[in-house]
């Protein structure tokens, strides 16, 4: 048995212990927990350097020339998978997108045998999305010393690159975290997005983080130290600078008992123009996607001037470039 401390959320050894190398540099990205304020800020600054205006050519670099990145998505994805692919290509890497449904995992091959086979083809970075808690850390413990594992979304536990792109989006809009009020509303209990955002915001000393959910989706307070938990969205919206709506994670819910109907949900927890009137002047609206318009967010609000939803997607490519470039730079210094 490992003597490592265990997380409240998973009961598994703390992933944050694994991700830095002996020099304190990023080897894997498994969680935002345990990354320092300086480390987070450096990643956000590097991501900024990869952004160009939408109508101009994308920024490219040769930081990953001769390297190969494998996308292993054992759960569906549009944004994360596409942006990791684009990020790797813009850094000069070859990219393998494993078609999981046509892979030998369907014939019963274990995840580790899949990894070992791909590693033998000189994969340098694995990007892994999986419904199982602890799978990305498990893989990280078993890859060769020179190989990095990046978490592309782990169960309800962690989505660190989503957390980074959300932090970048808030920083671009507001320029600071210390006196910001951030409201996240929806299915908090099952949300890896909320967990990673909260971990990053805590490290960056956010002014106030308020998590709003129906009682059926209320998380364990131990998973969100420092945050306020409530089921009263109207009260939470007062003075909010950032409002992030979340999707109901139907794929992670065992029982629907106690969950409001769609109409009731929208009436109590939908982020609408009317509710945004309670927020601070200049407040922004975010959503990690995929969105259910008219359930967790009013459609015209999602497309309106307060929305930063497409900016989040744009930032996703830059953030993933920053993470890929960072793990490769750390490798070259080992
Ligand atoms: N936000 C996010 O993770 O989206 P995808 O599931 O489309 O990757």
77 lines ligand 1 (CB under 6 A): yes
13 lines ligand 1 (CB under 6 A): no
Q: Return the SS3 of 204.
A: coil
Q: Return the SS3 of 234.
A: helix
Nearest-CA neighbor of 138 among 112, 175, 99, 110?
112
Substitution site in 77, 192, 286, 296 for ligand 1 pocket (most atoms within 8 Å of beta carbon): 77
pLDDT of residue 253: 67
Is the confidence at residue 230, as pLDDT, over 90?
A: yes
pTM of the predicted structure, to 2 decimals: 0.94
78 lines ligand 1 (CB under 6 A): yes
Domains and CATH numbers, the chain: 15-157+313-333 (3.40.50.1370), 160-307 (3.40.50.1370)
pLDDT of residue 12: 57
What atom of ligand 1 comes closest to residue 75's alpha carbon? 6
Residues 86-106: pLDDT tens digits? 999 999 999 999 998 899 999
Residues 294-323: pLDDT tens digits? 999 999 999 999 999 999 999 999 999 999
Residues 135-181: pLDDT tens digits? 999 999 999 999 999 999 999 999 999 999 999 999 999 999 999 99
How many Å lie between the centroid of ligand 1 and the Cα of residue 89?
Answer: 19
Residues 321/87, Cβ–Cβ less than 8 Å: yes
80 lines ligand 1 (CB under 6 A): yes
Helix (H) or strand (E) holding 328: helix 309-332
**Helix%, strand%, coil% for the chain, nearest 5:** 40, 15, 45
83 lines ligand 1 (CB under 6 A): no
Atom 1, ligand 1: which residue's CA is nearest? 288
162 lines ligand 1 (CB under 6 A): yes
Atom 4, ligand 1: which residue's CA is nearest? 79
Does residue 4 or residue 71 have the better pLDDT? 71
Helix pair 160-174, 309-332: axis angle to 10 deg: 120
Nearest-CA neighbor of 271 among 170, 166, 183?
183
């Amino acid at each position: 048995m490992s003597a490592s401390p265990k997380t409240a959320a998973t009961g598994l050894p703390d992933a944050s212990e694994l991700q830095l190398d002996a020099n304190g540099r990023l080897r894997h990205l498994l969680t935002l927990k345990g990354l320092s304020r300086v480390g987070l800020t450096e990643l956000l600054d590097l991501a900024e350097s990869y952004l160009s205006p939408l109508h101009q050519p994308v920024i490219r670099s040769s930081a990953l020339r001769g390297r190969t990145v494998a996308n292993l998505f054992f759960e569906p994805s549009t944004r994360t998978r596409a942006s990791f692919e684009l990020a790797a290509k813009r850094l000069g890497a070859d990219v393998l997108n494993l078609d999981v449904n046509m892979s030998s995992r369907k014939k019963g091959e274990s995840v580790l045998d899949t990894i070992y086979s791909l590693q033998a083809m000189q994969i340098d970075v694995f990007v892994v999305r999986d419904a199982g808690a602890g799978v990305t850390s498990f893989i990280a413990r078993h890859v060769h010393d020179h190989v990095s594992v990046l978490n592309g979304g782990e169960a309800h536990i962690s989505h660190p690159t989503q957390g980074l792109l959300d932090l970048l989006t808030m920083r671009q809009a507001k320029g600071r975290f210390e006196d910001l009020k951030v409201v996240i509303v929806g299915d908090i209990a099952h949300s890896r997005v909320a967990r990673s955002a909260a971990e990053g915001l805590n490290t960056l000393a956010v002014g106030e983080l308020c998590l709003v959910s129906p009682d059926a989706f209320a998380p364990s307070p131990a998973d969100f130290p420092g945050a306020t938990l409530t089921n009263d969205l109207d009260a939470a919206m007062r003075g909010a600078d950032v409002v992030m709506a979340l999707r109901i994670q139907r794929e992670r819910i065992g029982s629907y008992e106690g969950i409001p109907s769609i109409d009731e949900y929208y009436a109590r927890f939908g982020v609408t123009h009317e509710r945004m009137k309670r927020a601070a002047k200049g407040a922004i609206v975010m959503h990690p996607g995929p969105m259910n318009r008219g359930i967790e967010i009013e459609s015209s609000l999602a497309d309106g001037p307060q929305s930063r939803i497409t900016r989040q997607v744009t930032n996703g490519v830059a953030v993933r470039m920053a993470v890929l470039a960072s793990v490769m730079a750390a490798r070259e210094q080992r």
